[in-house]
């Protein structure tokens, strides 16, 4: 299989973590006789600096002509701290999602046995957590009409959804639940918002076609609390754009680091894979950013194209890095390993994931990933 993969490194630590994901895909090429064609293009703040727009036409063209997009990160403080900026890096990602029709964002959240003590939550609360969030991605308040009066004293953002927008992601979520623990929770604010009441109506009707899946509902404020108090109660979460943006970041505390969470954004014809973390500009160029979320995004890409054995090898190599403590400082204080070293270790261990003779534990302890 020859897959054309557009690489959009973006801003901050995006290029650094994306480079590690590419290393792992190259290891998959070598090990499984696959073939990936990589081509890079600018997006976000770096694209504004170079081209005057966060999503240049050439970048969009490349993405549309590729089988998938592998994304780094987006954002820059010089825009975050300027409320009057008319062009912002994040606009590029929002436009890209809209242009590619990426209506479903899929974010797995699970606890790692070796990292339970890294979460601020109690081990007994998070141990065994394994749920996935299906977030609608191209509708709602982020894409609704925005208004600001002439003197800048009154603003509004329209939250709007259609039945079709709700239906297409609801079917994906129900199908996912059928293959998991057969439970789906719709998170909304139906006691206040008319758009949420439409979500409940449409999802309830669709649920009749999936009788094996138990459907329940939860207000978003309660859900934010329940994810902290009892995350194991969830299997598949379905929600709208803004609510999903918020609760998926909240879910990162379960794993102990936002640097562990990958995501897939899926449309009818296109797919984009990215870590959920931001551009982390404070760490840019310091070789300390956690690349695991980006690497797991590459694993999700492989799964999307039916390369399940290849994806399994990537995930097992990640598991080995976590168990052996070959991780960045966000997961292990005073770690000697940087972004590049963690990426090298995981890529090397994709070659033969079951052969522990490939690993020299003494050298690992000295901060060297050594293949013997």
Four-point Cα dihedral 316, 336, 107, 300, nearest 10: -40
Q: What pLDDT sits at residue 369?
A: 37
Tell me, yes or no, if 117 is annotated catalytic. no
**Threshold 0.75, pTM exceeds:** yes
Distances (CA, A) of 116 to 7, 122, 290, 330, 334: 33, 8, 17, 14, 18
Q: What pLDDT sits at residue 356?
A: 54
Contact 294, 301 (CB under 8 A): no
Per the DSSP assignment, residues forming a β-bridge with 156 are: 147
Per the DSSP assignment, residues forming a β-bridge with 107 are: 133
Q: Which of 188, 245, 330, 344 is catalytic?
A: 245
Is residue 221 annotated as involved in ligand binding?
yes
Four-point Cα dihedral 80, 85, 91, 93, nearest 10: -40
Contact 22, 30 (CB under 8 A): no
Angle CA(274)–CA(24)–CA(137) in degrees, nearest 5?
15
Q: What pLDDT sits at residue 362?
A: 46
Tell me, yes or no, if 189 is annotated catalytic. yes
Is residue 80 annotated as involved in ligand binding?
no
Contact 174, 184 (CB under 8 A): yes
Tell me, yes or no, if 249 is annotated catalytic. yes
Tell me, yes or no, if 82 is annotated catalytic. no
Is residue 107 annotated as involved in ligand binding?
yes
DSSP percent split of the chain into helix, strand, coil, nearest 5 = 50, 20, 35
For 42-65, give one letter per residue: b (16+ CB within 10 A) or e: bbbbbbbeeeebbbbeebbebbee
Is residue 164 annotated as involved in ligand binding?
no
Tell me, yes or no, if 245 is annotated catalytic. yes
Is residue 88 annotated as involved in ligand binding?
no
- Residue-wise pLDDT tens for the chain (372 aa)? 699 999 999 999 999 999 999 999 999 999 999 999 999 999 999 999 999 999 999 999 999 999 999 999 999 998 877 777 788 999 999 899 999 999 999 999 999 888 898 899 999 999 999 999 999 999 999 989 999 999 999 999 999 999 999 999 999 999 999 999 999 999 999 999 999 999 999 999 999 999 999 999 999 999 999 999 999 999 999 999 999 999 988 988 898 888 899 999 999 999 999 998 889 999 999 999 999 999 999 999 999 999 999 999 999 999 999 999 999 999 998 999 999 999 999 999 998 655 554 455 545 444 443 332
Q: Which of 134, 142, 210, 280 is catalytic?
A: 142
Residue among 237, 265, 272, 266 at smallest CA distance from 251: 237
**Distance from C-alpha of 123 to C-alpha of 57, rounded to nearest angstrom:** 48
Per the DSSP assignment, residues forming a β-bridge with 35 are: 2
- Reading the block at residue 7, the tokens are 């690489």
Q: Which residue intervals of the chain are DSSP H helices?
A: 14-32, 45-51, 57-65, 77-80, 89-100, 123-126, 163-178, 194-207, 220-229, 241-250, 252-255, 292-304, 308-324, 339-350, 361-365
Span between the terminal Cα atoms of the chain, in Å: 30
Q: Which of 178, 181, 182, 189 is catalytic?
A: 189
């Amino acid at each position: 299989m020859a897959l054309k993969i557009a690489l959009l490194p973006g801003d901050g630590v995006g290029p650094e973590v994306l480079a590690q994901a590419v290393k792992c895909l190259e290891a998959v090429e070598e090990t499984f006789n696959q073939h990936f064609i990589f081509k890079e293009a600018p997006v976000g703040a770096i694209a504004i600096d170079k081209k005057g727009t966060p999503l240049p036409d050439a970048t969009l063209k490349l993405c549309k002509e590729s089988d998938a997009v592998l994304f780094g990160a987006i954002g820059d403080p010089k825009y975050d701290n300027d409320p009057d900026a008319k062009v912002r890096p994040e606009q590029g990602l929002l436009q890209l999602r809209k242009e590619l029709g990426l209506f479903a964002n899929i974010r797995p959240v699970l606890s790692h046995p070796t990292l339970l003590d890294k979460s601020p939550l109690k081990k007994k609360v998070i141990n065994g957590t394994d749920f996935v969030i299906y977030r609608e991605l191209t509708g709602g308040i982020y894409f609704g009409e925005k208004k600001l009066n002439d003197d800048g004293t009154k603003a509004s953002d329209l939250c709007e959804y259609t039945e079709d927008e709700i239906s297409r992601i609801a079917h994906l979520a129900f199908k996912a639940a059928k293959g998991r623990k057969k439970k789906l929770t719709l998170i909304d604010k139906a006691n206040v918002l008319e758009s949420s009441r439409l979500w409940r109506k449409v999802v309830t009707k669709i649920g009749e076609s999936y009788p094996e899946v138990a459907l329940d509902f939860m207000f978003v404020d309660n859900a934010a609390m329940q994810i902290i108090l009892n995350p194991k109660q969830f299997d598949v979460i379905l929600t709208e754009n803004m609510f999903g943006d918020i609760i998926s970041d909240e879910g990162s505390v379960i794993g102990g680091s936002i640097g562990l969470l990958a995501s897939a954004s899926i449309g009818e014809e296109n797919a984009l894979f990215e870590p959920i973390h931001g551009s982390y500009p404070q760490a840019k160029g310091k070789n300390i950013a956690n690349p695991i979320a980006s690497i797991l995004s590459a694993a999700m890409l492989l799964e999307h194209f039916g390369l399940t054995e290849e994806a399994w090898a990537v995930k097992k190599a990640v598991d080995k890095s976590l168990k052996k403590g070959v991780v960045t400082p966000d997961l292990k204080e005073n770690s000697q390993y940087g972004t590049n070293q963690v990426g090298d270790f995981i890529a090397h261990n994709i070659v033969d994931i079951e052969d522990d003779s490939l690993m020299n534990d003494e050298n690992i302890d000295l901060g060297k990933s050594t293949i013997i």
